[in-house]
Structure 1
């Protein structure tokens, strides 16, 4: 499993209806993308759920690097985003753990993303076991649709990402609204820890 995200932080007075309309118009294009586990079209609005910013930040879990590369470098797909917003920095993480949630059959309404540094001097095996256990804990919570833990070894950053069917998730982090979920290969994402 491989994770990817790019974010666009928008002006405080930006009409977020523009993002909603764009997602409604194009999101279906990835509903059957080969190699994609899930893509969540997520946004935060300034003043909603404690967000200090307006931000659009799709989050992906890929089953294959080939599927991701075809999306990024093939004709059309990612180029539409570049044409509309400019070329963003794309963050990528290696998968540590993935679990289906107690509400796995439900449509997600909210996402929670928590970033944290991998502290200097920690025992890496213990730290990653704890990350996998936290993923399982999140997935077992009432209303959890799915949970994942991913790590960037260049920046030594761990990210917990979870989807929820309700607006009161039992998870710490930034809360996003989910506008659409494309999940053509969700059933093929490997469960549990990824090592």
Structure 2
């Protein structure tokens, strides 16, 4: 399992309805993409859920590196790069994935919590804690799903969770979910990834 995200931070006066229209127009294009666990089309809007910025920031969980690379090197990503410029794409190695208690609920809010891993920690203990936190998040009332991944270049841990309408039971940056393509979600491996 591989996590991926890019962020397009837009001007404060940007019409975020343009992002909504774009997702309505192209969101379905990955609904049957081989190798994709899921893509959440995420947006932060200045002043909504405490966001200080306008941002389009899709988050992906891939079942295969080949499909992720195919998307980046010759697929729909080129259209985004042509329209907005090529963003920095963050990638994390998967640590854990769990379905929540309401997996069939439509997700309305995503929460991303990133934390640096300081020098001197025992990595195996931190990763086991991340697996436990993923399970805990998935068991929270209303949770659709939860995942954890690590960037070994920056030594950063990320927790990602999806929630229906209402207040999420997770700390971190909140995003609006505009659409979710989930062709391989059922194939995402559950639990610990090593």
TM-score range with shorter-chain normalisation? over 0.9
1:118 is aligned to 117
Which aligned pairs between 1:43-192 and structure 2 lie closer than 5 A? 43-74=43-74, 76-192=75-191
1:166: Cα distance to partner?
2.2
Which aligned pairs between 1:31-46 and structure 2 lie closer than 5 A? 31-46=31-46
1:23 is aligned to 23
Task: Deviation per CA, 1:139-179: give whole Å up to 9, x if none.
Answer: 00111100000100000000000000123011000000000
In the alignment, the residues of structure 2 paired with residue 111 and residue 22 of structure 1 have an alpha-carbon distance, to the nearest angstrom, of 19
1:113–1:175 CA contact under 8 A, matched in 2? yes
Task: Deviation per CA, 1:64-114: give whole Å up to 9, x if none.
Answer: 00111111112x411110111110000000000000001101110000001
1:143–1:166 CA contact under 8 A, matched in 2? no
2:6 is aligned to 6
Query: What secondary structure is seen at the aligned counterpart in 2 of 1:144?
Result: coil
In the alignment, the residues of structure 2 paired with residue 180 and residue 142 of structure 1 have an alpha-carbon distance, to the nearest angstrom, of 22
Task: Deviation per CA, 1:28-71: give whole Å up to 9, x if none.
Answer: 00000000000000001111111111111000000000111111
In the alignment, the residues of structure 1 paired with residue 21 and residue 183 of structure 2 have an alpha-carbon distance, to the nearest angstrom, of 22
In the alignment, the residues of structure 2 paired with residue 5 and residue 171 of structure 1 have an alpha-carbon distance, to the nearest angstrom, of 19
Query: Please, what is the CA RMSD of the aligned residues?
Result: 0.7
1:98–1:147 CA contact under 8 A, matched in 2? yes
**Equivalent residue pairs, number:** 194
In the alignment, the residues of structure 2 paired with residue 88 and residue 49 of structure 1 have an alpha-carbon distance, to the nearest angstrom, of 24
1:31–1:183 CA contact under 8 A, matched in 2? yes
Gaps of 5+ in 1: none
TM-score calculated relative to the size of structure 1: 0.98
Query: What secondary structure is seen at the aligned counterpart in 1 of 2:144?
Result: strand
TM-score calculated relative to the size of structure 2: 0.99
In the alignment, the residues of structure 1 paired with residue 125 and residue 184 of structure 2 have an alpha-carbon distance, to the nearest angstrom, of 30
1:149–1:160 CA contact under 8 A, matched in 2? yes
